[in-house]
A and B are shown apart, each in its own frame.
Chain A
Amino acid sequence: MSSRPAIVFEDVKKSYIVSDARLQGFKDIVINFPRYLKSLRARGEYEALKGVSFKVEKGECFGIIGRNGSGKSTILGLIAGVLKAGGGRVEVAHRVSPLLELGAGFHPQLTGADNVILNGVLLGMTRKQVEEKYDDIVEFAELGDFIDRPLLTYSSGMVARLGFSVVVHLEPRILLIDETLSVGDERFQKKCIRKMEEFRDRGITMVFVSHDLEAVRRICDRVALLEKGVIQAEGEPAGVVAEYLKTLQINGDG
């Protein structure tokens, strides 16, 4: 049982329907009705993932790097269960805690305290479980008195700190981290990285998507390089990061 991998992707494909963006709204449709009908029939498909396979073992920290539009976020969406694969097999052993970028799901008019409870429950905890962790969450976020003020009074760094703090204190079994560390000051970024290292040491499975190659190299056990919906390279971090840097130089438009 415990030897089963935490996440399995087997030849996973995912396409999005691309509708004709030129025609939107009733007026356009009426005026260009023949063209509208044609666009309905000829809906294009955009292949975000073209058969991706990988495994993440329990307790492993798996990094995914690649350029914008390479399919990284699609993979995270599939792991989180908000997207459905178009083909292949996705298996996830535990409930997943996605780390929301900049505290998405927070409401600006509610206080930090209210948002902690709201976000914790949305992420799958019962109210009691969140309340038990409440003091730790507030302390880690270093917000002081601001915790009782509405979120709209926070700086973006403070929001990110609170968001990070909620997720890491909810004892996730699988943690998805999508480009969150770029906000907040350097000291807090270091604190987050320490927290992630602590998680890795405690055997929590992590999937880390980032453009911060230094952090990827430092935290991840294994890294996959994604390019146009295909895994180009997979292996130990230093090598894959180096290869990524090379492709960036060749194409010159990273």
Chain B
Amino acid sequence: MDANRIIYLRDLIAVLTAKEFKLRYKSTVLGYAWSVLHPLAFSMVYFLLFKIVMRVKMDNYALFLITGLFPWQWFSNSISVATMCFLENRTLIKKVKFPRNFLVLSGVVNDMVHFIATIPVIVLFMLIYGKHPSMSWLYQIPILVAMQFGFTYGLALTLATWNLFFRDIERLTNIITMMWFFLTPILFNIEMVPARYRWIEYFNPMASIIMCWRSLFLEGTIPLGFLAAGVVYAAAAVIMGGYVYEKMEWRFAEIV
């Protein structure tokens, strides 16, 4: 790949992401604040429900919730936008030859930027609960961002491609994402899962990723077991997404 091509691809991702960014909160008064308010509102509801009503015995439960909900929000937003993204750009796909996976890529980048922009809110909650960010975040956060990015992009590209051939994928994705949310240790701690079922969480890629984030924010360390699992899942997702896309891409213009 020559230098011009690299400059071009860089511009393409920049322009597409800028477009997503401008459109996300177009004509809203609060703009970026929504990407904080949305998961924050959910955190509040879950806090009321589980801490006040059902009295879960857990310290720092509010902080515990947002450290899981914020990364999850990135994942679920990206997935639900991605499934429709090829269909929504059908006129473009029918006429112009350009790397179509960049449509998915720019969506995931956009959600990633929004997630990173919510980290200060997490820090604020940490300070309230008497915890402090550390210098090692400078390399820990990029590692976790890269890991979640890989997994999200790989899965998003797979679903976006399949959705062109089976429009049921979109509906199915919505339901599965909802179930996935409740089966991932976001509202609860993985230790609460009965010991004989706990191994199942190792088959849940998002469990590993959320456990890494939460441990980073609450304890300042990344558990190596979950990190290794997360990296493996991310790599597998990228390979699967790339394979499915490469295999199907030539038919896109015929079926959108």
A: which residues have CB within 8 A of B? 16-17, 25-26, 77, 80-84, 96, 98, 100-101, 104-105, 107, 109-110, 114, 117-118, 121-128
Contact = CB atoms under 8 A, between A and B. Distances in A.
24 contacts: A26-B168, A77-B94, A80-B96, A81-B97, A82-B93, A82-B96, A98-B95, A100-B95, A100-B96, A101-B95, A104-B91, A105-B91, A105-B92, A105-B95, A109-B23, A110-B19, A114-B19, A114-B22, A118-B15, A121-B11, A121-B15, A123-B96, A124-B98, A126-B8
B95 A127 contact: no
A121 B8 CA distance: 8
Contacts of B93: 82
A126 B8 CA distance: 5
A98 B19 contact: no
Interface of B: 4, 7-8, 11-12, 14-16, 18-19, 22-23, 26-27, 89, 91-98, 167-168, 250-254
B95 A109 contact: no
B170 to A, nearest CB: 12
A125 B251 CA distance: 24
B68 to A, nearest CB: 33
B139 to A, nearest CB: 31
A184 B15 CA distance: 28
- Residue in B91, B96, B254 with the greatest tally of chain A CB atoms within 10 Å: B96
B152 to A, nearest CB: 24
- Residue in B18, B94, B98, B250 with the greatest tally of chain A CB atoms within 10 Å: B94
B14 A127 contact: yes
Contacts of A107: 19, 23
A146 B250 CA distance: 38
A109 B15 contact: no
Closest 6 CB pairs of A and B: A104-B91, A82-B253, A81-B97, A127-B11, A105-B92, A121-B15
A127 B98 contact: no
A7 B161 CA distance: 30
A122 B102 CA distance: 10
A81 B253 CA distance: 10
Contact of B254 (A16, A81, A105, A121): A16
Nearest to A104: B91
A125 B15 CA distance: 11
A238 B254 CA distance: 34
Nearest to A15: B254
Contacts of B11: 121, 126-128
Contacts of A109: 23, 26-27
A126 B3 CA distance: 12
A122 B23 contact: no
A109 B95 CA distance: 21
Contact of A104 (B12, B92, B98): B92
Nearest to B100: A82
A107 B21 CA distance: 13
Contacts of B4: 126
Nearest to A176: B95
Nearest to B252: A82
Contacts of A82: 93-97, 252-253
Contacts of A117: 15
Nearest to A111: B22
